[in-house]
């Protein structure tokens, strides 16, 4: 592994309900070194955002949780971890996909879904433990569709194999992902916030494009202009009003 600390302590579990739950439980019992990674190729009950589930066929995909101690971040700066993690996944997708097909666009759908064109290839679930308004520890869970090609209920899902017609080594994809995670986390630690903010905005799905959304049961047209420092989605409405939405307040149609 070409990393300083991310993935240097790596805990492989044959099969587990959720790597995030497992890592969090471990953290309650012992002090894992920063950069520890819990991973499995057989996750039974993966958890997603907003209480949803994350499905994955055995031995097909990457599912890992990275443990970080971003004690330098105040709790109102949690969204910086979202930017860090989603950029790392997008970096990896770009590295693999760019040049293969000129029409593949790797985007981050706010707040942290990774999309290739109109389909989701990876999801992220970040669970932070706060203490005295600082982030004590962070469990960054990433699920990445690699070799699975059938997604049953979720027609909007896609994988690397489906996009490229090729099978990938899960271990190699995972190791490269950890390298990108470390690189982006080092940028965060070095306070390179402008770099992270600009890269995130550049990747933001539907930025600057008029599209339909739903909020409080109402369908409306809006144009994403960016995100606030706390991670709210900033949008311009057709009457030129600017509004900010949190995760529970808006649905992409
Ligand atoms: C989402 O898109 O809603 C987030 C999905 C996150 C899935 C990953 S897989 C590894 C880690 N363990 C979990 O239980 N969830 C995350």
pLDDT, one tens digit per residue, over 37-81 is: 999 999 999 999 988 999 999 999 999 999 999 999 999 999 999
Q: What is the pLDDT of residue 23?
A: 98
User: Alpha-carbon distance 103 to 185, whole Å?
Assistant: 29
CA of 50 to the centre of ligand 1 (A): 11
pLDDT, one tens digit per residue, over 179-198 is: 999 999 999 999 999 999 99
Question: Which residues line the pocket of ligand 1, CB cutoff 6 A?
Answer: 18-20, 43, 46-49, 52, 54, 63-65, 113, 123-125, 141-143
The H-assigned helical ranges of 66-119 are 79-97
Pocket mutation for ligand 1, best pick of 45, 143, 177 (most atoms within 8 Å of C-beta): 143
pLDDT, one tens digit per residue, over 108-158 is: 999 999 999 999 999 999 999 999 999 999 999 999 999 999 998 766 999
CA of 91 to the centre of ligand 1 (A): 18
Q: What is the pLDDT of residue 75?
A: 95
Q: What is the pLDDT of residue 130?
A: 96
pTM of the predicted model, to two decimals?
0.97
Q: Which atom of ligand 1 is nearest to the CA of 18?
A: 14
In the structure encoding, which two tokens stand for residue 60, read together?
């097909």
């Amino acid at each position: 592994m070409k990393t300083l600390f991310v993935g240097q302590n790596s805990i492989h579990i044959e099969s587990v309900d959720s790597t995030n739950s497992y890592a969090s439980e471990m953290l309650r019992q012992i002090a894992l070194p920063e950069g520890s990674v819990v991973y499995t190729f057989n996750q039974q009950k993966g958890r997603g955002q907003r209480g949803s589930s994350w499905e994955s066929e055995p031995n097909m995909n990457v599912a890992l949780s990275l443990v970080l101690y971003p004690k330098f971040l105040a709790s109102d700066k949690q969204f910086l971890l979202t930017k860090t993690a989603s950029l790392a996944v997008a970096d990896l997708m770009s590295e693999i996909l760019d040049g293969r097909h000129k029409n593949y666009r790797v985007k981050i759908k706010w707040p942290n879904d990774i999309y290739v064109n109109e389909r989701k290839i990876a999801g992220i679930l970040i669970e932070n433990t706060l203490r005295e308004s600082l982030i004590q520890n962070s469990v960054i869970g990433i699920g990445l569709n690699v070799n699975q090609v059938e997604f049953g209920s979720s027609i909007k899902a896609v994988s690397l194999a489906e996009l490229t017609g090729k099978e990938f080594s899960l271990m190699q994809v995972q190791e490269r992902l950890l390298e990108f995670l470390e690189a982006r986390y080092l940028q965060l630690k070095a306070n390179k916030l402008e770099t992270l903010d600009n890269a995130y905005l550049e990747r933001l799905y539907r930025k600057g494009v008029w599209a339909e959304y739903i909020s409080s049961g109402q369908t409306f047209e809006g144009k994403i202009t960016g995100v606030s420092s706390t991670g709210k989605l900033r949008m311009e409405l057709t009457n030129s009003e600017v509004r900010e939405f949190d995760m529970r307040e808006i649905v992409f149609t």
